């Protein structure tokens, strides 16, 4: 039996939204494809089914940027935000900040709270304290590549 489920994403500036469809073909085989829509100019792009990469945030980001390299051209697209939490009736109490250098930081807080924190700190030039004692502030906040539900 083949099972599919979707994950929903948008760029920070909300110009690009996309759906990742994941198909579980067997216990050891997964495939994925993306459906992307751009608001200005209005455009839709669908990819073919491909083997799903290892289940890491870095592999996910590399796959997205390989399929859609134009996302990286506009720096206001970052961070890419996982919106899957808005489609559920429950809240996952863990979110991840993935930096452009591939390092990921877990936040033991709901996605909604993490997105609000990043928005406020970027808007008011604040700082985000990470779980290893580092601080993201000023230009460091621009190093966030994605906010993911993990």
pLDDT (tens digit, 9 = 90+) per residue, 89-131? 777 888 999 999 999 999 988 899 999 999 999 888 889 988 8
Cβ-based neighbours of 6, under 8 Å, separated by 6 or more:
19, 20, 21, 22, 84, 87
| pTM as predicted | 0.90
Q: Tell me the residue range of the domain where 40 lies.
A: 3-148
Nearest CA to 95 out of 142, 52, 147 is that of 147
Structural contact between residues 76 and 13, judged by C-beta atoms closer than 8 angstroms = yes
**Gyration radius from the chain CA atoms:** 16
**In total, how many domains does the chain have?**
1
């Amino acid at each position: 039996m083949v099972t599919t489920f979707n994950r929903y994403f948008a760029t920070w500036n909300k110009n690009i939204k996309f759906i990742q469809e994941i198909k579980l073909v067997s216990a050891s085989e997964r495939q994925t494809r993306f459906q992307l829509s751009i608001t200005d100019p209005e455009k839709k792009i669908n990819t073919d089914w491909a083997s799903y990469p290892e289940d890491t945030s870095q592999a996910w980001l590399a796959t997205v940027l390989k399929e859609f390299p134009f996302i990286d051209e506009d720096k206001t697209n970052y961070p890419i935000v996982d919106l899957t939490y808005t489609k559920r009736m429950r809240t996952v109490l863990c979110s991840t900040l993935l930096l452009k250098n591939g390092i990921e930081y877990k936040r033991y807080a709901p996605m909604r709270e993490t997105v609000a924190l990043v928005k406020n700190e970027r808007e008011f030039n604040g700082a985000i304290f990470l779980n290893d004692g580092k601080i993201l502030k000023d230009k460091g906040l621009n190093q966030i590549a994605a906010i993911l539900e993990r």
